[in-house]
């Protein structure tokens, strides 16, 4: 059954591609008004918006680099001004960066990954909370990763950002819980999107990846999007402060299926 988000006002960051696009489509199909953010894919964002509007959805596109504290805050306040408020924030925008062992990492690149994956989520959440706290209502969902818990060689900035984002979720859930605001994380495993095309586009790396997933296949972005729609809906009214894994049991140490 689809979630019911009738009358809710949502903002999805990084909505012009992959998970963000499907989350935007699912929230709109569930009845929410959706502002979806894009960074550089203006044409793609506009064509998604046009497509959704044709089907009667109330959507707008919002350009911003979420790692810029001023632009991120302006984006959130713009949507609040336009729609008179915000009920749902999905912090989805993210990059995994370039492979580099920690002692070889380029510092600008290392910091950029943290700024997009962690600072950006904080800037948007902070601005949304300024509205949600006095209203005593709202939901913030942060897209983390199985790498909030699984280390990943060559991607220390990504794992640090996602682990930090998971703790940000828990801390804000503690702070905002008394105001009736839910804050949670959704940690995808390996979901087929542009971010990991280099892996699923090559039979050898795909085979290696599938061995890490007890469920034996990659996830589809629609499977994440449906879970997001449920989690931000009132049907999930007592879920807050934790991470929901959508990962085909990837965090369950697949190697142990052959004995320990
Ligand atoms: P994607 O590359 O298709 O989407 C990432 C989106 O983030 C894009 O729309 C991109 O434009 C946007 N973005 C990047 N930098 C930005 C910035 N500075 N400001 C605003 N937007 C920016 O990849 P995806 O798989 O859809 O990733 C979405 C989220 O899911 C990311 O946070 C990613 O870390 C997380 N994730 C994905 C997987 C997976 O297997 N696909 C697994 C775990 C976590």
Note the pLDDT tens digit of each residue in 70-101: 999 999 999 999 999 999 999 999 999 999 99
Q: With a 6 A CB cut-off, is 115 part of the ligand 1 pocket?
A: no
Q: With a 6 A CB cut-off, is 191 part of the ligand 1 pocket?
A: yes
Q: What is the pLDDT of residue 258?
A: 79
Separation of CA 20 and ligand 1 centre (Å): 7
Q: What pLDDT digit, counting tens, does each position of 205-245 carry?
A: 999 999 999 999 999 999 999 999 999 999 999 999 999 99
Kindly report the protein residue whose alpha carbon is nearest to atom 41 of ligand 1: 191
Kindly report the protein residue whose alpha carbon is nearest to atom 8 of ligand 1: 14
Q: What pLDDT digit, counting tens, does each position of 25-66 carry?
A: 999 999 999 999 999 999 999 999 999 999 999 999 999 999
Half-sphere exposure of 17 (CA within 13 A, CB side): 17
Report CA-CA distances (Å) from 2 to 36, 55, 91, 92, 246.
Answer: 20, 16, 21, 21, 17
Q: What is the pLDDT of residue 2?
A: 81
pTM comes to 0.98
Q: With a 6 A CB cut-off, is 246 part of the ligand 1 pocket?
A: no
Q: What pLDDT digit, counting tens, does each position of 150-192 carry?
A: 999 999 999 999 999 999 999 999 999 999 999 999 999 999 9
Q: With a 6 A CB cut-off, is 121 part of the ligand 1 pocket?
A: no
Q: Is 158 a catalytic residue?
A: yes
Q: What is the pLDDT of residue 163?
A: 98
- Model confidence at 1, pLDDT cuts 50, 70, 90, reads low
């Amino acid at each position: 059954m689809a979630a019911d988000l009738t009358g809710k006002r949502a903002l999805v960051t990084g909505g012009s591609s992959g998970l963000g696009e499907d989350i935007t489509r699912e929230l709109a199909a569930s009845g929410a008004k959706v502002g979806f953010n894009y960074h550089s894919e203006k044409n793609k964002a506009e064509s998604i918006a046009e497509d959704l509007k044709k089907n009667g959805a109330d959507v707008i596109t919002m350009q911003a680099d979420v790692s810029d504290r001023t632009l991120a805050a302006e984006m959130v306040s713009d949507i609040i001004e336009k729609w008179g408020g915000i009920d749902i924030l999905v912090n989805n925008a993210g990059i995994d960066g370039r492979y580099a062992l920690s002692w070889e990492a380029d510092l600008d690149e290392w910091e950029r990954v943290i700024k997009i994956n962690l600072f950006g989520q904080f800037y948007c959440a902070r601005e949304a909370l300024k509205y949600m706290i006095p209203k005593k209502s709202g939901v913030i969902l942060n897209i983390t990763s199985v790498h909030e818990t699984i280390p990943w060689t060559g991607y220390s900035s990504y794992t640090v950002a996602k682990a930090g984002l998971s703790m940000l979720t828990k801390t804000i859930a503690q702070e905002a819980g008394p105001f009736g605001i839910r804050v949670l994380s959704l940690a995808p495993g390996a979901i087929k999107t542009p971010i990991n095309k280099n892996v699923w586009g090559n039979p050898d790396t795909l085979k290696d990846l599938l061995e890490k997933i007890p469920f034996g296949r990659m996830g589809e972005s629609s499977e994440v999007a449906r879970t997001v729609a449920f989690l931000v809906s009132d049907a999930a009214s007592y879920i807050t402060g934790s991470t929901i894994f959508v990962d085909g049991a990837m965090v369950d140490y697949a190697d142990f299926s052959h004995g320990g």
